[in-house]
Amino acid sequence: MKEQKKQPELRFKGFTDDWEQVKLKDVAIYIRGSFPQPYTNPDFYDELNGKPFVQVADIGFNLKLNPDTRAHISKLAENKSRFVEAGKVVVALQGSIEKSIGRTAITQYDAFFDRTILIFQSYKIPMNDRYFAQVIERLFEYEKEKAWGATISTITKEKLNDFIIGVTDLREQIEIGEFFQKLDQAITLQQRRLKLLKKLKQSYLQQIFPAKRQSIPDIRFSEFKENWIQKKLGNYLSIPEKKQVDNLKNLRLMTLKLNLGGINLSANRETLELGATKYFIRKSGQLIYGKQNFFHGSIAIIPDSADGYATSGDVPALDIEGIQPKFLLNYISRPSYYLEKEARAIGTGSKRIHEKDLFSFEISSPSQIEQIKITNIVDRMDKIIILQKSKIQKLQKLKQAYLQKLFP
């Protein structure tokens, strides 16, 4: 059973014995979840009275299941599904290597589990659940790093059997488990604060911009009294002269994220070919949006760091004139504004919002001075949100550092 002995770099007081390196099959008894097929059968679901049905997306990133599952199982499907009591360690075996495989949780409620999830039913040796959950999460991170760049759809039981984990005395396991529990609680608290700040910002944006068919906002600086002027986006946006990329060696590619995630400058261009798809140079200060995803929040102002980067024609950039760029962005970045624009998209298959369609969208604006004041207020909120994100990132880095030091 023992393969080799190691010690972590950092240990709690009173512990000096070597750790055992043990195969996973010698540590725990585990089984995959199950669910009747096909998934699309509506008789297998009951959203009103059904029990929770856990799939990969229902496993959070803080060693917990999400508060509720996306789907709920019907009585008909229960007998053909895997029921798991609260308090079990589970891990996702299937999905994308970046976002799905390796999601780990200690279940906090009874539920039925999909076949894409592995359930640890019991242990063959003394084991603390919180310690074990950290071990499993760390183990999968290590395995993913080794396979990075590959397309992993699932991990087999045979592969799992030979995974090696470090095992120490139960007392030390409990110390480690409690330590990371406190650290995870601190991270969760900061994540909740970030969520509240984002909600507060969106609520504030709804009030400092006029509601639909209104000419003044609910909240306003006292010195401004005039009605806002309603125009079309085409009054402020225009299509610039296009400069096409004619050599892949000169191509610096950027992509636009969904849900107001901004711009990504590390897009992979190794598999690109100059052919049917044309790429165009974009400039800082331009408004950029995704034709297929405007209504999913693919909207941004190109920062100075992205000046000279390129996108395809499906991610056009537009010159801005006669309005404060950040005011414009804040106005159209409200979910209440861009979500409803999906109904205006045209085409068969993947629907798009072309430039001429975007130009027809309405926008209300006050004087330049009021625009600047509103922009400054939103900028201050954004800085608070960025600071909160930084706190979370620091805590997450601290956790990773301790994971490296408290495990061999």
Q: H-helix or E-strand containing 175?
A: helix 170-208
Report the distance separating Cα 292 and Cα 278, nearest Å. Answer: 17
The rounded mean pLDDT for the chain is 90
**Strands 111-113 vs 82-84: parallel, antiparallel or unpaired:** antiparallel
The predicted structure's pLDDT at residue 159:
80
Confidence of residue 337 (pLDDT cuts 50, 70, 90): very high
250-298 pLDDT, tens digit per residue, is 788 999 999 999 999 865 555 555 566 889 999 999 999 999 999 999 9
Say if residue 205's pLDDT is above 80.
yes
The predicted structure's pLDDT at residue 1:
45
The predicted structure's pLDDT at residue 146:
60
At residue 332, φ and ψ (nearest 5 deg) are: -85, -10
Residue 45: C-alpha distances to residues 69, 108, 264, 387 (Å):
12, 22, 38, 42
Residue 61: C-alpha distances to residues 58, 99, 137, 261 (Å):
10, 10, 10, 19
Confidence of residue 142 (pLDDT cuts 50, 70, 90): confident
Sign, CA dihedral 341-346-349-350, equals negative
Report which of 189, 184, 89 is spatially closest to residue 129, judged by C-alpha positions.
89
Whole-number percent of the chain with pLDDT over 90: 79
Confidence of residue 148 (pLDDT cuts 50, 70, 90): very low
Report which of 219, 243, 201, 224 is spatially closest to residue 388, judged by C-alpha positions.
201
6-46 pLDDT, tens digit per residue, is 889 999 999 999 999 999 999 999 999 999 999 999 999 99
Q: How many CA atoms lie within 13 A of 151 on its CB side?
A: 0
Whole-number percent of the chain with pLDDT over 70: 92
Mean pLDDT, rounded, for 218-225: 94
Q: At what angle do helices 368-406 and 325-332 cross, to 10 degrees?
A: 70
381-391 pLDDT, tens digit per residue, is 999 999 999 99
Say if residue 149's pLDDT is above 50.
no
Report which of 123, 150, 152 is spatially closest to residue 136, judged by C-alpha positions.
123
Mean pLDDT, rounded, for 1-10: 69
The predicted structure's pLDDT at residue 382:
95
The predicted structure's pLDDT at residue 208:
95
Model pTM? 0.82
Say if residue 170's pLDDT is above 50.
yes
83-104 pLDDT, tens digit per residue, is 999 999 999 988 765 667 889 9
295-335 pLDDT, tens digit per residue, is 999 999 999 999 999 999 999 999 999 999 999 999 999 99
Report the distance separating Cα 150 and Cα 393, nearest Å. Answer: 26
